[in-house]
Amino acid sequence: MNLMEYQGKELFRRAGIPVPRNSHAPTAQHVADFLKEQAGEWVVKAQVLMGGRGKAGKIQFATGADEGRHVAQNILATPMPPNRQNPNGEPIKSLLVEEKLPIEKEAYCAITIDRAQKRPVIMVSRFGGMDIEEVSEHHPESIAKAYIDTAIGYSPFIGRQLAFDAQLDPGYRKQLPAIVGALYELFFEYGAKLVEINPLALTKDGKVVASDAKVELDDDALFRHPEFAKWQEALPLDEDERLASSAGLGIRNFLRFDGTVGTMANGAGLAMATMDAVAFAGGKVANFLDVGGGANAERVRKCYELVVNNTGAKSFFINIFGGITRGDEVARGIVDAMATTSSRKIPLVIRLTGNNEEEGRRILAEAGMTPVETMDEGAKRAVEAAA
């Protein structure tokens, strides 16, 4: 789940990372009411997930209530225009009013997972305020990296070394280690896949402040913080994403297509391989569905109903690898789900492999279902059943 800037800054504030004074405003009148009580110049920012707000004129300055209302109305009047990041554009539903910082320097700081190194990587660059991809292309030597051994964790000396390696202005050196430490704690506390501050501003009075916030959370970690369900309602989800969320899946775990073979697998890689197998067998898939790691009865039932009620599926191919969840547990989940669902019934083809696969197949057979042993065999039978 990607967060809006105001949501990301709320997490930064909780972690102790300095952010500008601000107020989230759902309407232009809220902007005016807030600025009526504030002195000086403020920044009014569109709250969207896509980038390019400045170039699109969706970040403007205002002083006082009247100008704030006028600026807010202008920003809200039209959606974000399409760009390379989002060719469909994005509606603007709210704004962030934020104090204008007296910025002296801008830097970049982020933490994500380096899949090749299999550990978190902290990245710092003296070039802030521009896309990191652009920095990587034109100034690759400016990006200092530190790969963290999670068994040891982060220590302030790492932040100090990054400040020197990235050749940051000396004004950053004292505060950067604590900010990176807080960002590292946030990364794990909230199950983030990416936390990014761009720009990390050094103000003329010597403060280091997160002027922007980009946070991407792992959908499988959202259950740890129930308040995120409310935050998700504010995000611009499309219909497939809303259906996935309502079924308890990650918003990117479900997509609909125009075929007749419904599919479900645990893991995005296996889900895509399942779709390929259906295509090789001469069929067309009705959906992509990654059920995730815990395929219990309730989740299986919700996924079955999600596909049957929202696609043109005429058969349903369940392809499960029993790893963390054993094959017999998955099989009991499927049997229970089919016994309790009130949705229309379509032919099921089930391939179970991995831990306790033989016991899983026995449970399915006793329930009158026909498990298969290979993915290709399952795809062939599902295509035949949908014909």
The residues assigned a catalytic role are 108, 196
Omega before 79 cis (within 30°)?
A: no
Longest dimension (CA), the chain: 74
Residue 311 DSSP label = S
Q: 243, 306 in Cβ contact below 8 A?
A: yes
CB burial of 342-375 (b: ≥16 within 10 Å; e: otherwise) equals eeeebbbbbbbbbbbbebbbebbeeeebebbeeb
Q: Kind of pairing, strands 315-322 and 261-265?
A: parallel
| SS3 label, residue 248 | coil
**Position 303: which residue type?**
C
Q: Using alpha carbons, list the distances in angstroms from residue 12 to 7, 9, 34, 309.
A: 9, 5, 22, 40
Structure tokens at 331: 């099989």
